[in-house]
């Protein structure tokens, strides 16, 4: 089935003199044919279309969120993460289309396997929000051998900002004191990433 037909099933019935297929097609066209753009838009933006009320808009977003979460289950905890590409593969599906920044800590064991993914903050990344105490608390409890920092740029451009560099420097220094090394800081963009380790920024 096409994306419009799948959206029609999610919508359920038509409205305002249009069939469910027509409503699904209108939703898709409003985002230039991109499901990712629909998911990135506020729920309220869909309600401006004929035949789409708040309940239907929420249903569409819920369906897209379920798809995003299913995709993020592709890499289980316990999988090895030995390269930036593997880290990106583990986190891209859940982070690259978010409308706000999320900061995660990948807790690794001595074999570089992912023991736990910890979401630390949601919002604008700066040094006041990402405190070493919050980052390393769970890592210490899990007896982490190392950690990898991961966050997204909603703009889609993974180029590190000045705040990204400050936060990274602070957390790398804290990791040295705690004997929990920071192996990398990966910034997830849309379809691409920047690795601090690869770029020689650690």
Q: 3-state class of 100 per DSSP?
A: coil
Q: 3-state class of 149 per DSSP?
A: strand
Q: Is 90 exceeded by the pLDDT of residue 145?
A: yes
Residue 133 or residue 148, greater confidence: 148
Kindly state the helix (H) or strand (E) to which residue 63 belongs, with its residue range: helix 54-72
Q: 3-state class of 44 per DSSP?
A: helix
Alpha-helical segments (H) within 101-161: 132-141
What pLDDT, in 10s, does the model give residues 113-133? 888 888 888 876 554 467 888
Pairing mode, strands 193-195 and 182-188:
antiparallel
How far apart CA 4 and CA 137 sit, in angstroms, is 45
Residue 195 or residue 28, greater confidence: 195
How far apart CA 175 and CA 180 sit, in angstroms, is 5
What is the pLDDT at residue 194? 97
Architecture of domain 84-195: 3-Layer(aba) Sandwich (3.40)
Nearest to 47 by CA among 60, 34, 64: 60
The region that residue 156 occupies, defined by phi over 0 for left and psi between -120 and 50 for alpha, beta otherwise, is: left
What is the pLDDT at residue 38? 82
Residue ranges of domains in the chain: 3-72, 84-195
Alpha-helical segments (H) within the chain: 3-11, 20-30, 35-40, 43-46, 54-72, 84-95, 132-141, 162-178
What pLDDT, in 10s, does the model give residues 42-82? 777 787 777 787 888 888 888 887 877 766 554 455 667 88
Whole-prediction pTM value? 0.66
């Amino acid at each position: 089935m096409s994306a419009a037909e799948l959206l029609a099933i999610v919508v359920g019935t038509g409205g305002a003199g249009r069939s469910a297929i027509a409503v699904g097609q209108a939703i898709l066209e409003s985002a230039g044919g991109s499901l990712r753009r629909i998911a990135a838009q506020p729920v309220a933006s869909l309600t401006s279309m004929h035949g789409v009320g708040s309940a239907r808009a929420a249903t569409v977003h819920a369906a897209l969120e379920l798809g995003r979460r299913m995709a993020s289950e592709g890499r289980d905890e316990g999988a090895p993460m030995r390269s930036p590409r593997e880290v990106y593969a583990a986190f891209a599906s859940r982070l690259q289309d978010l409308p706000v920044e999320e900061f995660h800590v990948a807790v690794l064991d001595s074999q570089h396997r992912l023991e736990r993914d910890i979401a630390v903050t949601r919002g604008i990344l700066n040094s006041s929000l990402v405190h070493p105490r919050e980052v390393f608390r769970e890592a210490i409890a899990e007896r982490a051998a190392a950690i990898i920092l991961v966050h997204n740029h909603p703009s889609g451009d993974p180029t590190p900002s000045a705040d990204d560099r400050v936060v990274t420097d602070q957390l790398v220094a804290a990791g040295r004191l705690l004997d929990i090394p920071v192996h990398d800081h990966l910034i997830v963009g849309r379809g691409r990433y920047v690795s601090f380790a690869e770029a020689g920024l650690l």
